[in-house]
Amino acid sequence: MMITLYGIKNCDTVKKARKWLEQNNVEYTFHDFRDNGMDSVPMDSWLKEFGWEQVLNRRSTSWRALDDAQKETMDNSTAKQLAMEIPTLIKRPVMTHNGQTLFGFKADSYADFVQ
């Protein structure tokens, strides 16, 4: 099964992940949240499996820009709605492979994940 990497092309962490995949000759498809849109992004399954706390990056500028009421009442439904409107809220990159999903980038995790 093909590896898909989701993210935003100008994100530094996404750049590191893409570089690692290319240096390790790992074939993958890149889905840019902005360029390719959010329609085919499996947000429902990510939220169901991991919960909004892991899917959204609570250290991001986008998160800090939300008002306190939005943060305090966050749930999976609200997270999906906001992430579809503001994809920079999603922790990135997100890699999917063989029905598994990995958020963020750590070289060690990637090495184990793509085996």
The residue to which tokens 């579809």 are assigned: 84
Q: Which of 5, 9, 10, 11 is catalytic?
A: 11
State yes or no: is 25 an active-site residue. Answer: no
For 104: left if phi > 0, alpha if psi spans -120 to 50, otherwise beta; the answer is left
- CATH of residue 75's domain is 3.40.30.10
Say whether pLDDT at 1 is over 80.
no
* Mean residue pLDDT across the chain: 95
pTM of the model: 0.94
Quote the number of domains for the chain.
1
Cβ neighbours for 85, distance < 8 A, ≥ 6 positions apart = none
Question: In terms of residue numbers, what domain contains 39?
Answer: 3-113
d(CA 7, CA 27) in angstroms, rounded, equals 16
- The CA dihedral of 54, 52, 65, 92, to the nearest 10 degrees, is 40
Instruction: Read off the pLDDT of each residue in 23-27 and give the average, rounded to a whole number.
Output: 95
